[in-house]
Chains A and B, each alone.
Chain A
Amino acid sequence: MKLPQFELHRPNSVDGASQLLTELGDDASAYSGGTELLLAMKLGLIKSRHLVDLKPLAELRGIELRPGGVWIGAGVTHREIESSPAIRAVLPPLAGMASQIANVRVRAIGTIGGNLCFADPNSDPATLLSALGARLRARVNGESVEFSPEEFIEGPYQTLLRPGDLLLGVWIPALPAGSAAVHLRMKIHERPSVTVAALVGVTRGEVVAARLAVGSVGPKVLQVELGEELRGLSGVGFSTRVRSLMALLAGSIPLLPERPESPEYQRHLVRLLGARALEAGLEGARN
């Protein structure tokens, strides 16, 4: 499998890149780490004759700790996220999630933006970002627009970006006081088979807020607010309610067709990992 011929463009600004991509239309692709793009081109699934390199664009780089949260440029690699002291301090589950993606070779060049824009349904970041209430900032039709991860990813390999649009970065609000986030996933093949993420907030030992996101099983990330359902609970009461909620959710969540694992087993994993994530979230929020 050889890479077909292509022309590489190196614009020096996001504006320039966007303009180029608009002009070239369907014949061009934005090129970040290339871990998905080049593979898809080798397999003949993407036939772009022009690649517009985003790697040199400083505007897309950088992890910034700002009041109220963290900004991560679309061009930041998983490796940079996993080893960033700022993220490790403020959002340890995000660093932990990044450290589990693929292998070190992919992490060293693959970017968070590339992951989100490729929109492979078997993916980790979108699920955690959804639970964290992150906002994705994109340049759409020349304007800067914000989306939630669930809005941004419309379905398998489908985002709402059109030729010329670019993802700029991700804004992740800091964890509210008294809350904890948990990311769990199960990987059987090269990609995650089930990804779940929970954000749980407590006051005086009792749940005041809870959010669960489930990814990698369905066509897109499913986010559910469970604050109402779990409010005021703790201990056995919490566990019992979590179990029945997860049974309900796992039974009804849409699944991707033609997965190597049976629907029954996938639903089992959703139920299991979802419950584990919520339990761990409560535990974490209390400490």
Chain B
Amino acid sequence: MAAVTTPERPVVATAVGREVERADARVKLNGQAEFTGDIRVPGMLYGAVLRSPVARARITRVDVEAALALDGVVAVLTGQDLLDMDPYYGHALRDRPIVAIDEVRFVGEPVAVVAARTLAVAEEARNLIEVAYDLQAPVASLEAAVRSDAPQVHTTRARPGFAHGLGQLPDPEGNVCYRYGFTTGDVSADFAGADVVVEGEYRFPAVYQYSLETHSVVADYRGDEVTIWASCQHPFLVRQEIADLFDLNLDRVRVVVPYLGGGFGSKSYTKMEPIAVAISRKARRPVRVVNRVDESMVTTRRHNMVCRMRTAAAADGTLLAREADFWLDTGAYADNGPRVTATAGDAAPGPYRWRSVRVDGRCVYTNTAPAGSYRAFGAIHLQWIGELQVDEIAHKLGLDPLEFRCRNLLPVGGEVRAGAKPLDADLVGDLRKVAEAIDWGAPRPPGRGVGLSVGLLAAGAHPVSMATVRLGADGGATVLVGTTELGQGARTAMAQIAAEVLALPPHQVVVRGTDTQYTPYDRSTGASRSTTVAGKAVELAARDVLASLVETAATKLDSDAPLSARDGGITDGERWISHQELIRARFGFAGGELVGQGRVQPSRGSGSYAEGPVFWEVCLAAAEVEVDPATGVVHVMRTASVADVGRAINPQLIRRQDEGATLQAIGNALFEEMHYDPEGLLLNDTLLDYRIPSTLDVPEQMTCVIVENEDGPGPFGAKGCGEGAFAGVTAAIATAVAAAGVPMRELPMTPERVWRRLQERGTVEQTGELR
């Protein structure tokens, strides 16, 4: 056969490693991007949710008559409508009814839902529903919940959910719904023989996972099928949970996910979808349910926590042992509490070479809003505490905190937790990089402090993802993958991965939102897993297409030389044929397409949490702060974090991840906190009273050090990022504030708390004069 060289061979740069323009930048900037709240389905009604004003009560009467009588109201759903089904859901524990049945357990718990022709009518009707509550004393704090005579938030034992991944669940004890712990070595002997022991009790606040878009759902229940448009991070898990709840086959539940206006974990698992489906089922019409901010704040939040920790070391600077007991407040329903507890437990020791460790974490029910996932959960809870203690020991021994850490950190391949994947990152190398980025050794004036922090986060969740790549006759490709684009740039990265394999320009690869009817299965978007796990599936799917191209090219070129993709075609090094031409050659006319499949599944064991993780995400950072001793105000001047990503698919997206996480860390460390009163009422449920970080809080310098050792399990040696900086920077701010003379034991480090701590320590004159 004659040599084929197309004269118009383009030059296509490699796609991976480049800062290509975000695939969603233009539509988002010009306002054309579609979010769930924009969706209007013919015949759609508007839902309004009536929420409990009290934290704990028996419902003695619900009167919906006046609401139903209002013109424009189509249906009202209450707990009584759920008697024909098993209405309890929860991926970890099936402890939560779709709407309250006979009792309410937190302020904000949905009690009824109205569907009406307009939102105004729905809201008016909601306000006409009369509910009589028989009030009971709420269990509104961790302290109240763990007392031996505490009332039980749940009196019946919940069944395990379908996706907790935590093996056999332990029996609940009182309000403790899950417990996770482990012991290695002889802890009491090591503490007894230690030269230095530090200990303390620490508190971590409940915080709100603010995102621009609130939880939004449109549900359309028809016959025995339901279509759901939802702002969800885990469409396939939502599909499964809805199928279970409403007793439908998986393929009768269709979940469609447009762009998300942020999620950060708040839209993981199932949130407002069951309510929307239930009211649509009752109204026999599509219904839209969109939370207000105050409603999203009680839909999910981050766990507040109390922790007691102690750490032992030898005089020569060897870390010996650590003990941690902690109590996470998961609110009235478990949500992702058990997983958060396990992850926190794994983060408790910190990545050091311990002789012995004892960890005991409890996940506790209280009569407050349910707590679930939020970026870097678990690690962010424990890392700042462990790292404060590491610094305290270094201080007592007169050692440099950097060298002290380097001496005790786990090496590559070290055992993080018995039975789990060995450490796959160079922590000492990473730590030295962030230290350098903030001039670790440089002298500082009084009031300034620099801090370091190191931690690990079990990342990847359950490693099951599928992807499909379709290469069209015009040489353009479409990727079908279940990853949710929530602002992190997933669609851009996935396009780059497929483009790299097929040697296409990334903008010639289209990635759309998930529609479970067409998109192959992906477990979830969270746990920093998408680029690694779903990205690997995309790479494999693209390679599947590539194999077909190479097969055709081999016959066309009649060549034994190795063939590879280059410049939008296949080449043997000398000759080149475009993909278009190969597709035409394969199908014999100007149509057809190549479809490739990629599948990722656990490579070892079952992929369970015990044997996981897919990779260890480093949570490693440094910070420099300035503390005003007169006011207690902490100013974060500089931060540095490490994105140990194996291979940077798109460095710009990685930096933006760490910058976003850094700002959230500043909020969590310095000012964000949900305040509950003793009756379980959330006091600051507006964005005026609950301040979130803004551009005004950006430090003068934020450095993201990208480390590329090509050691990840993902495509091209990549591994995930995006969460580590949140835990790392939060802890680094805490250690930096301690280095400035104020070791805090409670987050957020508000000006008043810092000022009080300084007063306690007697380091400032009562008049609070500046030096």
Contact = CB atoms under 8 A, between A and B. Distances in A.
B691 A190 contact: yes
B628 to A, nearest CB: 10
A272 B694 contact: no
A268 B688 CA distance: 24
Contacts of A186: 631, 633, 751
A190 B686 CA distance: 11
Contacts of B767: 243, 247, 271-272, 275
A195 to B, nearest CB: 14
Interface stretch (A172-180, A197-205, A257-265): A257-265
Contact of B768 (A1, A261, A262, A268): A268
A1 B119 contact: no
Contacts, number: 46
Interface in A228-287: 243, 247, 260-262, 265, 268-269, 271-272, 275-276
A103 B671 contact: no
Best-surrounded residue of A43, A188, A247, A275 (most CB of chain B within 10 A): A188
Contact of A268 (B292, B750, B755): B755
B698 interface: no
B757 interface: no
B768 A189 contact: no
Given A2-B119, A186-B631, A265 B755 contact: yes
Nearest to A39: B688
Interface residues of A, number: 22
A269 B755 CA distance: 11
Nearest to B770: A276
Contacts of B119: 2
B694 A189 contact: no
B117 interface: no
A190 B688 contact: yes
A99 to B, nearest CB: 12
B630 interface: yes
A106 B20 CA distance: 34
A260 B696 contact: no
A188 B671 contact: yes
Interface size bucket, B side?
20 to 34
Contact of A1 (B293, B675, B691): B293
Contact of B292 (A1, A190, A265): A1
A2 B292 CA distance: 10
Interface in B592-643: 630-631, 633
B752 interface: yes
Nearest to A258: B683
A276 B768 CA distance: 11
A262 B292 contact: no
Given A188-B751, A262-B752, A269 B631 contact: yes
Contacts of A189: 671, 688-689, 691
Contacts of A188: 671, 750-752
Interface in A114-134: none
A272 B770 CA distance: 9
A2 B119 CA distance: 10
Nearest to A43: B686
Contacts of B630: 272
Interface of B: 119, 292-293, 630-631, 633, 671, 675, 684, 686-689, 691, 694, 696, 750-752, 755-756, 767-770
Interface of A: 1-2, 39, 43, 103, 186, 188-191, 243, 247, 260-262, 265, 268-269, 271-272, 275-276
9 contacts: A243-B767, A247-B767, A265-B751, A268-B755, A271-B767, A271-B768, A272-B767, A272-B768, A275-B767
